[in-house]
Amino acid sequence: MRVIFYAAITANGMTAKTDGNTDWVSPEDFRSFSTTCQKIGSIVMGRRTFQEYQTLPPQQYPLPDGLTIVLSTTRPDLSLPGRNVRVVAEGPSGAVKIITASGLSQTCVVGGHTTWASFAKEGLVDEIYLDIEPYLFGQGMPLFLPADFEYHLKLIETKNLNSQTLQLHYRVEK
Ligand SMILES: NC(=O)c1ccc[n+]([C@@H]2O[C@H](COP(=O)([O-])OP(=O)(O)OC[C@H]3O[C@@H](n4cnc5c(N)ncnc54)[C@H](OP(=O)(O)O)[C@@H]3O)[C@@H](O)[C@H]2O)c1
């Protein structure tokens, strides 16, 4: 299973303000994010991120077709009209099992920071996309909830998504 992380971050590595606000993310980030998710064909997200998508217009969902796995121990009932959503209580290894059983060999972990940390702790990360927006705030959610892991990365590509947003694409050295 190839596991790819995708995150939009501020210049100081934040993914959301304390109240969950992400309105500093550019439209070009969303386009690149959505294109990448569609190429990969399946996504994994945490219950809180999924519940935010439930409140957004359908065109803001990054994977119109394909499999969405939501990690949750509290809400097995979660769903979204027109989307193929499976809720998994067993964490990253449970998500990988279902994706593999669906005949897929890769997935995009789209956050938030609790979910990225869960995968990173279990050694389940092969590539990382970071879209860096020209913004700073001091209080909020960094890329990872504190957890015990360490990786060496190789920078594969850098790309300007617009004149202000830089994308870094890393591969995990194993
Ligand atoms: N900048 C970006 O690219 C980006 C991307 C995505 C999200 N975000 C932001 O991130 C914020 C949400 O992040 P978050 O860290 O608070 O929440 P999250 O990762 O979206 O969801 C956390 C929840 O997922 C479930 N979960 C996570 N790991 C699990 C595991 N190992 N086993 C079972 N369940 C697990 C748990 O649900 P239960 O409590 O139900 O068990 C947990 O409470 C939102 O504000 C969102 O806007 C930013």
Q: What is the pLDDT of residues 91-150, one digit of tens each?
A: 999 999 999 999 999 999 999 999 999 999 999 999 999 999 999 999 999 999 999 999
What's the 100 CA to ligand 1 centre distance in angstroms?
22
Distance CA 127, CA 120 (A): 11
What's the 70 CA to ligand 1 centre distance in angstroms?
9
Per-residue model confidence (pLDDT) at position 85: 97
Show me where the domains of the chain are located: 2-173
Element (DSSP H or E) covering residue 94: helix 92-101
Per-residue model confidence (pLDDT) at position 75: 98
Confidence of residue 43 (pLDDT cuts 50, 70, 90): very high
Per-residue model confidence (pLDDT) at position 7: 98
Q: Give me the amino acid identity at 110.
A: V
pTM here?
0.98
Residue whose CB lies within 8 A of the most ligand 1 atoms, among 32, 47, 139, 148, for a mutation test: 47
- Superfamily of domain 2-173 in the CATH hierarchy: Dihydrofolate Reductase, subunit A (3.40.430.10)
- Bridge partners (DSSP) of residue 108 are 4, 43
Contact 2, 126 (CB under 8 A): yes
What's the 153 CA to ligand 1 centre distance in angstroms?
24
Ligand 1: which residue has its CA nearest to atom 27?
A: 115
Per-residue model confidence (pLDDT) at position 61: 96
- Bridge partners (DSSP) of residue 3 are 107
